[in-house]
């Protein structure tokens, strides 16, 4: 065997061995990254008492009024009861309405308009402007509150200044409740 052939075989064997070793290391690291999930500590029950042993853990407040110690607007706002009832605006909702007035240059261009994602403590908003249809302002928004998997509300900002808010109370992408902003409060009309 010639020396040159020997070197080529040696290099080929060395590269192959390093490839197999590297692949094994990557696979080994992946299995270590998937550490078991630690059990969730029980949350304090109302009144500062610990939950009873064996009782199911308390569930964080994902709907309704903010829980104790929650920052204002961090939880999904309380929904009005029957049709015709009103609910005052939360600080988070006031912030969303004020951000709707921001210039369209804050967002990114899309195929049919502009899109702007805003992250705030406790909620996130995706504003949309249908510039292809002539909109010069943010005319739609999707809102997700802390703990929501997807967007739990859709808002429509009308040219006459009115605001329609559709709410998915169950997180099923089914917006069954509808509100209109009237005199600084949400009036449920569906």
Please report which helix (H) or strand (E) contains residue 154, including its range: strand 153-157
User: What is the reported pLDDT for 45?
Assistant: 37
User: What is the reported pLDDT for 59?
Assistant: 33
User: What is the reported pLDDT for 57?
Assistant: 36
CA 32 to chain centre: 28
Please list the pLDDT of the chain residue by residue as tens digits (190 residues): 788 888 888 888 877 777 777 666 656 654 444 444 444 333 333 344 333 344 333 333 333 333 333 334 445 566 657 888 888 998 999 999 999 999 999 999 999 899 999 998 889 999 999 998 988 999 999 999 877 678 899 999 998 999 999 998 877 778 889 999 998 899 999 8
What is the pTM assigned to this prediction?
0.58
Q: Among 104, 108, 107, 155, which Cα is nearest to 134's?
A: 104
β partners of residue 141: 127, 155
Domain ranges of the chain: 1-33, 79-188
Triad 164, 169, 174: Cα angle to 5°:
75
User: What is the reported pLDDT for 181?
Assistant: 93
User: What is the reported pLDDT for 171?
Assistant: 75
């Amino acid at each position: 065997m010639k020396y040159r052939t020997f070197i080529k075989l040696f290099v080929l064997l060395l590269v192959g061995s390093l490839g197999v070793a590297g692949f094994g290391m990557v696979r080994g690291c992946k299995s270590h990254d998937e550490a078991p999930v630690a059990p969730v500590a029980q949350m304090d029950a109302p009144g500062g008492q610990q939950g009873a042993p064996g009782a199911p853990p308390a569930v964080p407040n994902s709907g309704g009024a903010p829980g104790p110690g929650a920052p204002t607007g961090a939880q999904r706002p309380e929904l009005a009861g029957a049709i015709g009832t009103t609910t005052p605006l939360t600080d988070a909702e006031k912030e969303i309405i004020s951000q709707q007035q921001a210039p369209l240059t804050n967002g990114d261009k899309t195929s049919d308009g502009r899109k702007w994602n805003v992250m705030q403590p406790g909620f996130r908003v995706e504003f949309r402007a249908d510039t292809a249809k002539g909109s010069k302002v943010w005319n739609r928004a999707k809102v997700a509150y802390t703990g929501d998997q997807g967007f739990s509300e859709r808002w429509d900002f009308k040219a006459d200044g009115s605001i329609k808010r559709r709410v998915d109370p169950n997180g099923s992408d089914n917006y069954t409740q509808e509100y209109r902003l009237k005199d600084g409060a949400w009036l449920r009309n569906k």
